[in-house]
Structure 1
Amino acid sequence: MSPMLFLLLLVSSLIPGYAHPSPTQSFMSAVISQKGIDFLKDLLIDKAISSVVPINLPESEKKVKIPFVGNVLMRLSNTTIYRVDVPSSDIKPGESGVSIIASGTTCDLSMDWLYSYSTWLVPAEISDKGRASVQVDGMEVRLNLGLELQEETLKLFLLECGCSVQDMSIKLDGGASWLYQGLVDAFEEQISSAVEKAICKKLGEGILKVDSFLQTLPKEVKVNDNASFDTTLAGEPLLSSSSFGIKINGLFRAGEKLPMPEYHFENSPSPSPSCKDPSKMFGITLDEAVFNSALALYYDADFMQWSLKEVPNQPLLNTAGWRFIVPQLYKKYPNADMSLNITLPSPPVIRISEHPIFATVDVDIIVDVVEAGELIPVACISLLVHASSTAKISGNNLVGSIDLNDFEMSLKWSNIGNLHMDLIQPVVQTLVETTLLPNANSYFRKGFPLPIKHGFMFQNAELISSNSRIMVCSDVLWTEGRSPDHPQLV
């Protein structure tokens, strides 16, 4: 039955890791509702049933005195539980762990049997042997599992295991039919006890394996070669009568090839959003700090700078295209090719509200003139861009698009005298709309991979925004081992 494996998928889908930089910060949380718990439980009952069987029981023998026959030695060997069926099960989170009850469980056993006896009527020993099949009905298995945080890792342990057998039937192949009832009477209680002990022992071993697995879970969730999620657990699991929740750090951190950026984020005091539809299986809440940490990481890794040598459908990269806008530029460098170097002096900042997502971006546009194969900087225009974005769920990714609201522009420095910014503004707006926004949207279309285990996919997802947070409420679909695409961010 292996119901403990439910927790394996449950917890590994959240992938807790080690502390970095502080186990007290939490910018991401996930909650699995009772519907989601039941879904995973049923899935694991169906998919992991084979992990329990076969179970081998110890050899047993007994002497029974039968009237007119004498003492009969009976022995059972090679006793194996080869099939377990769980028609009904129930799982409930509690304050300190999880309770699992599997009712109406049946299991089938096979075994070798042997009996021998001698009687004064016949001087020689009489023996016989054969095979037997046993069906156990009405078995109930009860598990109480503890779950707590130890050294930034989830610790799973068995609090209690109980197994009780209600009914049993034994069918012999071979042997004398008159001995059938004697064999049942002699071994039924012994077989029941052996089955009960073996089931609990097997489940206990499985729980130890799951706990060992939890101790070796990946220390981070890799997004691509440059970035990963910091998945430090931020406190004890949140257990209630109908849900399982966990808080993790959730910020982006650099890959092995990149230094860790020195940016710090504060938890927002605003309340978390909640799913409008309580029947959803799963909810993930992400603070805006998660997205800002990703932007800070890629900014620190020098991904947020571009050199433009061509602007689509616009004659902006030759001084001839600027002759009426910046006459002194054309006069000093007539018909010269140009290059625009776009850099961000600071990381973009995202603010999440109840409706759109707002972004503020500082941009420096350095205008270079190409002369004798060399780039000569002539001016730097500073922009403060205000944009908004809409988001949605595509597959297992949070995707969106960004639109320009407005921007403020100023001259940062110039080697060709003062520039008339009112004349330059339409040109810069064209540059933003035809180059900068399409470039940014190419990243947004690739999406932000949400933390869900491969082999599962969001279904009928709902996106809810509040002040500083986004919550994804969704059902979960098992994809039979097919790993959903997790596109890279860069």
Structure 2
Amino acid sequence: MQLVIFFLMILTHTYADYPALKAVLSEKGLRDVSQMMAVWMQSKLKSIKIPEFRGEKDIGIGTVDYVFSNMQVGQCSMSGPSIEFVKGTGVSVEISQLSLAIKGRWATKFGIIHDGGSFDLAVYNIKIQTLLELGDDAGRLSITTISCSNDIGGVHIQFYGGASILFQPFVKHFSGEISGIIHMKICPAIQQAISELDMNLQKKPVNIPMDQYIYLSILLTSSPAVTDQSFELDIKGEFYSNSSPSEPPFSASKFDFQYAENYMLSLAASEFLINSAAYAYLSSEVLQINIKDNMIPKSFPIHLNTSQFGALIPQLRTLYPNMEIQVHLYASKTPLFSFSSENIDVYVPAAAKFSVVKPDGMLVPLFRLDVAGSFSGSALIDNKHLTGAFKMKNLTLTLGSSEIGDFKTAGLEQMVVIAVNMFVLPKLNDYLKTGFLLPTLQSFSLINSKLLIKNGFMVIFTDVEDSWIVSMTTKV
């Protein structure tokens, strides 16, 4: 159940025709989930609060009223659970040989005789079978119980305290009654738990904030596809601007990929996902920066002042002698990413507005340069971090507008190329060398991950680890 929620939190939806995200849980993943569930269930069963129940039983010589209270599970053991995909439906879950050792208090009333004490209750060889349907409820993952059955191998009660020895001969009567009560309560309890889980899924937020600027919408585009070997979710991944959400001037393209059977989970994202994030940041007016001379390393040969720029633009020395320059650099259009075999290409259309800074701080516009840059890079997963490196393929400058007359841009273009290669890309690649830690959700983390870049999409093959389960297993 926790893994289902994990999948939901990393999926998305938009109005485009094709999904930009796909997630596939393999048969290996399902087996590993069952092992996680075994540890999780045993821990939960030990902490479960069992409500008291009372009843009466005709034992042939009269009616005994009884109540069992303060019950706690002391020990539990189980085989499984066994979870299997059911094609076109969902999953079947079978728990066998579940045994519980319960301690509690008892009280009885037999005519005028009142008695009480403690008891040990052993419920053994419990078998539960349930079929769960995984579907789509208005874009949200839904889970419902189709069928449920259970069987109890036996119940044994040992009374302590009071005059319990008087009632021990009638334990078989109580055992049958308790066995019946437990049998009737198991499936309704499971159905209630699944219903509550489904309600929680429907209440999950569909807009997930990424930062203060953009959010990710997470609605399914279609019902889950369940085969006898996998569980697949097709999702439409799109980022939106918080301040001005709108659709980008491009749409998602169809893509298919082969999931990896030897990994628990396969996650694939098309170019549309990354490009929608770039468009959302552009719409949020984030992709811009004011560059001042004090931001440039002292070792760099060119600085932002009219004296040095005058060597490239002679009229600057005449119009604004020995004055500081400020540059407003911004993305003029959406930067676009494209994926090809093991390679990431990035096209960055930008503009740079140059202004002179007067002694009173006022800015006087000089000119605007239009920039077209293309870069290529690679990415991989190293020790739970997404890392990468980029290099320049091409960069061109053209004069967009000017308040100081025309001038040639070849020298400026060469200077910018040097600046990008000597300053921008090394800083970027140093940052990417450390990389980004792979995402976690609650106690879940991605391990043994492998990243592949294909034509039009990238895919991560990974296993999933629950740190809480690991710690519990270690304790056991």
3-state DSSP class of the match of 1:87? strand
3-state DSSP class of the match of 2:329? strand
Alignment of 1:45-444 (within 5 A): 45-49=38-42, 51=44, 53-56=48-51, 58-65=53-60, 71-78=61-68, 82-83=72-73, 84-94=76-86, 95-109=88-102, 110=104, 112=106, 114=108, 116=110, 130-173=117-160, 175=163, 180=168, 182-255=169-242, 258-272=243-257, 274-275=259-260, 278-310=261-293, 311-312=296-297, 313-373=300-360, 374-393=362-381, 398-434=386-422, 436-437=424-425
Shift of 1:385: 0.6
Distance change >3 Å, CA 146–CA 194, structure 1 → 2: same
Shift of 1:259: 1.0
> Aligned partners of 1:23 and 1:185: how far apart in 2?
65
Shift of 1:351: 0.3
| Residue aligning to 1:4 | none
Could you say what the CA RMSD is over the residues aligned between the two structures, in angstroms? Answer: 3.1
The unaligned stretches of length 5 or more in structure 1 are 1-6, 66-70, 118-124, 483-490
3-state DSSP class of the match of 2:172? helix
Shift of 1:43: 2.9
Q: Does 2:53 align with 1:42?
A: no
> Aligned partners of 1:361 and 1:246: how far apart in 2?
32
Shift of 1:80: 6.8
> Aligned partners of 1:253 and 1:135: how far apart in 2?
56
Distance change >3 Å, CA 21–CA 245, structure 1 → 2: closer
Point out the more displaced range, 337-346 or 370-379. 370-379
TM-score if structure 2 supplies the norm length? 0.85
3-state DSSP class of the match of 1:268? coil
Letter in 2 for 1:47: W
The percentage of counterpart residues that share the same residue type is 22
Q: Deviations over 1:444-475 (max 9, x none)?
A: 67967866522211112100111111111111
Shift of 1:148: 1.4
- For the Cα contact (< 8 Å) 1:323–1:329, is it kept in 2? yes
> Aligned partners of 2:10 and 2:318: how far apart in 1?
63
Shift of 1:56: 3.2
- For the Cα contact (< 8 Å) 1:343–1:364, is it kept in 2? yes
Which residue, out of 4, 20, 38, partners 1:10?
A: 4
> Aligned partners of 1:61 and 1:86: how far apart in 2?
31
> Aligned partners of 1:417 and 1:106: how far apart in 2?
88
The unaligned stretches of length 5 or more in structure 2 are 471-476
Distance change >3 Å, CA 267–CA 397, structure 1 → 2: farther
> Aligned partners of 1:212 and 1:222: how far apart in 2?
22
Point out the more displaced range, 280-289 or 37-46. 37-46
> Aligned partners of 2:227 and 2:209: how far apart in 1?
30
Q: How many residues align?
A: 458
Q: Does 2:469 align with 1:474?
A: no
Letter in 1 for 2:414: P
- For the Cα contact (< 8 Å) 1:23–1:234, is it kept in 2? no
Q: Deviations over 1:159-179 (max 9, x none)?
A: 111111113333232547586
Shift of 1:10: 1.6
Letter in 1 for 2:67: S
Letter in 2 for 1:225: Q
Letter in 2 for 1:38: R
